[in-house]
Amino acid sequence: MNPILFYLFSILMLGFGIAVVANRSPVASAMSLVVSFFCLAALYVGLDAYFLASIQVVVYAGAVMVLFLFIIMLLDLKAEQRRKFNKLAIGGGALVALAFAAQLLGVLGGHPRGDKPFPELKLPIGESLNDLQHVGETLFSLHTLPFQIIGVLILVATIGVIVISKRELK
């Protein structure tokens, strides 16, 4: 991936990620999250994961965010009022997150194995990477049991949502 594109999309992604946390209005947060997910999909394209990039756009930026906006508008959430801040909680939270980021910088600074450029893909002449076929082959040859478990999980989630949404729980 072109380093300029990488920096552009990473900075956009992190900036809109910060906007998700910093925005007072839930709708603005959700919109920032959509932009952040789109930039993440662009990073996936740069990593030659075209199938995951399209899934990211369709499932996350499409379905999940529509669900979020739907709930925000259903509950008619207004921008949060300024409440009196719990200074200890805010300071503690920021401190823990910053300590995590600093720790990460320290670990990655002493990580020479990851400090190498990405190896080139070896593809037949004149062909581009058909990653959807390879993901499908891996999924349906090596990971068939997890695939079926995921199917059951989605069924359970569907039934669970219906049960939770019933007005009267008996």
Residues 136-155 that bind other proteins (CB under 8 A): 137-139, 142-143, 146, 150, 153-154
Among 12, 35, 48, 54, binds other proteins (CB under 8 A): 48
Tell me which residue of 91, 21, 34 sits closest to 67, measured CA to CA.
34
Residues 71-130 that bind other proteins (CB under 8 A): 71-72, 74-75, 77, 80, 83, 89-90, 92-94, 96-98, 100-101, 104-105, 108, 111, 114-123, 129
Query: Smallest distance from the beta carbon of 170 to other proteins, in angstroms?
Result: 14
Query: Smallest distance from the beta carbon of 115 to other proteins, in angstroms?
Result: 5
Contacts of 106 (CB under 8 A, 6+ apart): none
| 36 vs 74: CA distance, rounded Å | 23
Tell me which residue of 14, 54, 5, 59 sits closest to 35, measured CA to CA.
14
Q: Is 65 within 8 Å of 26 (Cβ atoms)?
A: no
- If one asks whether residue 66 binds other proteins (CB under 8 A), the answer comes out as no
